[in-house]
Amino acid sequence: MSSPPQLLVIDPSVAWPEDEGAAEVARGWPGEVRLLRPALRPDDGPRPGDGYDAAGVVLLGSRASALDDLSWLHDLGDWLSPILRGEAPVPLLGICFGHQLVAKLAGGTIGFVHEDRHVELGVRESTFDGSRLLPGHRSLRVVASHREEVKDLPPGYRIVASRKGVIADALEHERLPVFTVQFHPEAREEFLRKRGADPSLLDAGAVEENARLLATFHRLALAAGALPIRS
């Protein structure tokens, strides 16, 4: 009898755990959910060689920068590298910090969104075009909370969403099941309130659309060998 599919959720928060966000990315997952917090809990993995049997991995946001020189961040980068090279073909969704870290590790460059380095914060409109997570050409109201962004694409990736002032709002690898978004599809009222933004700006329709994006990643991860990977 096969074991239930595992979703590995990595929360690299450095200030407080993103309980609400972790719950949102796990909502509806039919198997086991394993939550790791490598920055808040020393030695909380993922460890070398461990976790590659997961059906999917979600890497959440963080106040840390993908450019920081931190031991847990180096360990996380080492763990992600086989996935990004295609040696461990685990479906991966990187969110905000996760988006930037994947791009950096894959050979892209990261920089500040604004010259004065202030936070891009609030509800914005992102336009998708040809994404496997959100097919077709459509707009999506999203929660933004970030200082940095992807400036130059890593090889093998393409932009599938943009918004005003942020060209690379979502990336996908051309062949591998690797997806990243600069915004926060898991963000809800608590997320906005903690950051001093008006939670009422996130309407029910936007929540439903963002939840649908997360659910699509679940379906792709569960499909495993049937992923629509482009040649």
Percent of the chain with pLDDT over 90: 85
Give the Cα separation of 95 and 177 in Å (integer): 15
Burial class (CB in 10 A: 0-12, 13-18, 19+), 25: buried
Domains of the chain: 6-226 (3.40.50.880)
Per-residue pLDDT at 231 exceeds 80: no
Residue 101, pLDDT score: 98
Active site residue 184: yes
Spatial separation of the C-alpha atoms in residues 121 and 144, rounded to whole Å:
5
Confidence of residue 56 (pLDDT cuts 50, 70, 90): very high
Confidence of residue 200 (pLDDT cuts 50, 70, 90): confident
Q: Which of 96, 149, 172, 173 is catalytic?
A: 96
Task: Quickly count helices (H) and strands (E) in the chain.
Answer: 5, 11
With cut-offs at 50, 70 and 90, classify the pLDDT of residue 87.
Answer: very high
Answer whether 225's CB lies under 8 Å from 61's CB: no
Q: CA-to-CA distance for 29 and 26, rounded, in angstroms? A: 6
Q: What is the pLDDT of residue 42?
A: 85
- Separation CA 65–CA 97 (nearest Å): 7
Residue with tokens 């010259």: 115
Q: Which of 99, 146, 184, 218 is catalytic?
A: 184
Task: List all residues 6 or more positions away from 22 whose beta carbon is below 8 Å from its beta carbon.
Answer: 9, 11, 35, 60, 186
Q: How many whole angstroms separate alpha carbon 34 and alpha carbon 57?
A: 10
Q: Is 99 a catalytic residue?
A: no
Confidence check: pLDDT of 166 > 50: yes
Q: What is the mean pLDDT of residues 50-69?
A: 96
Query: What digits encode the pLDDT tens for the residues 126-152?
Result: 999 999 999 999 999 999 999 999 999
On the question of pLDDT at 229 being above 70, the answer is no
Q: Residue 20 pLDDT > 80, yes or no?
A: yes
Mean pLDDT, the chain, as a whole number?
A: 93
Considering the candidates 18, 120, 149, 186, report the single residue annotated as catalytic. Answer: 186
Beta bridge partners of 142: 124
With bands split at pLDDT 50, 70 and 90, how would you rate the model's confidence at 224?
low
The predicted model scores a pTM of: 0.94
| pLDDT tens string 97-117 | 999 999 999 999 999 999 999
CA distance linking residue 73 with residue 85, whole number of Å: 18
pLDDT at 2: 64
Q: Residue 206: is its pLDDT beyond 80?
A: yes
pLDDT of residue 1: 45
